[in-house]
Amino acid sequence: MTAPMRVDPAIVNVALGARSYDIVIGRGTLASLGPRIAALRPGAKAIVVTDDNVARYHLEPAEAALHGAGMATSRVIVPAGEASKSYRVFEQVCEAIIASRIERADLVIALGGGVIGDLAGFAAAVVRRGVDYVQVPTTLLAEVDSSVGGKTAIDSAHGKNLIGAFHQPILVLADTALLDTLPEREFRAGYAELVKYGLLGDSAFFAWLESNWRDVFAGGPAREHAIAMACRAKAAIVARDERESGERALLNLGHTFGHALEAACGFSDRLLHGEAIGAGMALAFEFSARRQGLLPMADAKRVIRHLAEVGLPTRMHDIPGPLPGVGQLMDLIAQDKKVRRGTLTFILVRGIGAAFIETGVDPREVRTFLGEKLAER
């Protein structure tokens, strides 16, 4: 499989009936933001929600694109980082939207990474009982995952993304040129969510990434091709299971372990979300291989080798600083949103590209496995 040369942006439709929307993927698409929104919502005004890092690079071009289409705008800028997915910052964003006189026929624009998309999307879901919003993701992680599918949330002291709502955007505009300003660590963290689509349901895509990941990092057609592949995979799953009542849970491959590690690190720069998911997927593959031999250990090692080659953490030893004991990690896992009546549900694998949902996982198995992995530190 080779990455096709592309001049026009790729368009991926998320088919949800009357609430369907397009994901527009391409280099330089930010300039089309105003005309695209004006075509969808003529006469609407908008408030742009962003963070102080993104604002430095992309806020003025985004506002220029909106003003060029005759749209009136306001802005709210929050601190960068996971800490902004809090009650306090959520309140500030909601109050700013109301103070800007954004009505139900107007728009919120989420300009940023996963934190901004989750935060702004949740605010849009509840202010005036729901206003439309547009996702303009500025990180790889957001372009391939969090901007698509309508999951919005803030964090609780008990865990990540525990307070939120399903609220679909009306447009996702993924300008791949915006990724040029990302630090390498942030891009690498986003790659974890990109490769996830190969690991959970497309072994050929994973094999392509094994051969072409350096070109994806470098940019150009390979990057756009990989992002479009990931978005098509997620769009198809969301269209079949919008509210995660079944198949959509597969998108949480690596997240049960990963979210627990992320919470153990205080949702801080010590372990970025994508890094946590990389470690979580490595654990999920090894746990699957050990658990009644669901897949050959050679497959698990192949996956772990690729994640490590890219530079993602794959072992507890790769996570800087102290980690809590097994008991606290199990407590964090118990807060996972897939827990049902106190029983654990994991996304496990029968092979590369063959993920499945396993309910009723024995906590003793998980405890023993984590104890062994912690002992390796």
- Does the CA dihedral 281-284-287-289 come out positive or negative? negative
59, 110 Cβ separation under 8 angstroms: no
Any catalytic annotation for residue 234? yes
Active site residue 301: no
Given 58, 160, 234, 373, which residue is catalytic?
A: 234
* Marked catalytic residue, from 36, 58, 151, 225: 151
373 vs 314: CA distance, rounded Å: 11
Terminal CA-to-CA distance of the chain, rounded, Å? Answer: 39
Indicate which residue of 36, 58, 223, 255 is catalytic: 255
- Examine the residue annotation and report whether 372 is marked as an active-site residue of this protein: no
Q: Are the CB atoms for 141 and 114 separated by under 8 Å?
A: yes
Which SS3 state, helix, strand or coil, does residue 164 take? strand
338 given a catalytic annotation: no
Cα–Cα distance, 93 to 114 (Å, whole number): 16
Annotation says 6 is catalytic: no
Residue of 252, 275, 306, 337 marked catalytic: 252
User: In the annotation, is 248 catalytic?
Assistant: yes
- What's the residue count for the chain? 377
Q: Report in angstroms the alpha-carbon separations of 64 from 30, 60, 73, 234, 327.
A: 10, 6, 10, 31, 52
Among 82, 242, 244, 275, the one annotated catalytic = 244
Q: Classify the phi-psi angles of 165: left when phi > 0, otherwise alpha if psi is within -120 to 50, otherwise beta.
A: beta
| The pair of three-digit structure tokens given for residue 106, joined into one six-digit string | 């107007």
Based on the residue annotation, tell me whether 306 is a catalytic residue of this protein.
no
Find the Cα–Cα–Cα–Cα dihedral 354, 355, 359, 363, rounded to 10°: 110
Residue of 160, 273, 306, 373 marked active site: 273
Selecting among 36, 160, 188, 259, the annotated active-site residue is 259
Q: Which residues are catalytic?
A: 129, 151, 193, 234, 244, 248, 252, 255, 259, 273
